């Protein structure tokens, strides 16, 4: 089965520097992983595997900790069907917003821990300062954020980010998510 693994905090701000070629080589040492591919330097891994998600996480965490000195690795793991389904809901996330005519500013935020915290801590009052072109919504435990992370949109993003800091999460631009999906097919 095809899986996508989105690593958190890899090659960001000079921390947890990992060359993707070396990561592929280390993961290739597991007999259960095959057809290992990576996309860009932020830790997007596609592989074939018949293990359960918890076992995949355990093996990748072991590799990150022991081969690359990453402490407490975090990741979001999806099979092809689940990730494809998430991306298909992107259109729902931006529907009803007349000023949004493309996915260029859409970022998907994937919690790597308990999503119940997200649902509990973020309510409608947190959506203050949202506009037609800068907004967010939660669909199936994924936060769809449309807007910049600075400038005029900063108020919306900062309110959302203050709640997300309670969770560990990893984020990817919509375009990167689509490239990952293409690798999975």
Q: What is the pLDDT of residue 113?
A: 64
**Do 93 and 107 form a contact (C-beta atoms < 8 A)?**
no
In CATH, what number is assigned to the domain containing residue 72? 3.30.70.1280
Where among 83, 114, 147 does a domain terminate? 83
Top-confidence residue, 112 or 15: 15
77 and 110 together in one domain: no
Residue 28 belongs to domain spanning: 2-83
Q: What is the pLDDT of residue 115?
A: 60
Where among 83, 98, 119 does a domain terminate? 83
Q: What is the pLDDT of residue 143?
A: 83
67 and 136 together in one domain: no
102 and 148 together in one domain: yes
Q: What is the DSSP string of 136-183?
A: EEEETTEEEEES-SSGGGHHHHHHHHHHHTTS-EEEEEHHHHHHHHHH
Average pLDDT estimate for 27-40: 96
Q: What is the pLDDT of residue 23?
A: 95
Asked if residue 178 is part of any domain, the answer here is no
User: Domain count of the chain?
Assistant: 2
158 and 136 together in one domain: yes
Residue with tokens 């997200």: 118
Average pLDDT, whole number, for the chain? 84
Asked if residue 181 is part of any domain, the answer here is no
**% of residues, the chain, pLDDT over 90:** 42
Closest to 78 measured CA to CA, from 142, 12, 18: 142
Where among 65, 83, 101 does a domain terminate? 83
Q: What is the pLDDT of residue 128?
A: 63
Task: Tell whether the model's pLDDT for residue 108 goes beyond 90.
Answer: no
Residue 183's pLDDT band, with cuts at 50, 70 and 90, is very high
Q: Global pTM?
A: 0.86
Asked if residue 185 is part of any domain, the answer here is no
126 and 167 together in one domain: yes
Sign of CA dihedral 120, 123, 126, 130: positive
Residue 68's pLDDT band, with cuts at 50, 70 and 90, is very high
């Amino acid at each position: 089965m095809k899986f996508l693994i989105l690593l958190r905090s890899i090659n960001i701000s000079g921390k947890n520097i990992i060359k993707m070629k070396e990561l592929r080589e280390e993961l290739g040492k597991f007999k259960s992983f095959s057809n290992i591919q990576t996309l860009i330097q932020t830790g997007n891994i596609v592989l074939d595997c018949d293990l359960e998600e918890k076992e995949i996480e355990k093996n990748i965490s072991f590799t990150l900790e022991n081969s690359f000195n990453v402490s407490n690795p975090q990741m979001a793991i999806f099979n092809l069907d689940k990730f494809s389904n998430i991306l298909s809901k992107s259109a729902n996330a931006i529907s009803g917003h007349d000023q949004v005519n493309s996915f260029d500013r859409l970022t998907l935020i994937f919690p790597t821990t308990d999503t119940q915290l997200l649902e509990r801590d973020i309510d409608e009052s947190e959506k203050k300062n949202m506009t037609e072109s800068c907004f967010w919504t939660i669909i199936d435990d994924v936060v769809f954020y449309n807007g910049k992370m600075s400038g005029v949109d900063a108020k919306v993003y900062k309110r959302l980010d203050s709640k997300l800091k309670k969770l560990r999460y990893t984020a990817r631009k919509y375009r990167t998510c689509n490239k990952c999906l293409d690798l999975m097919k």
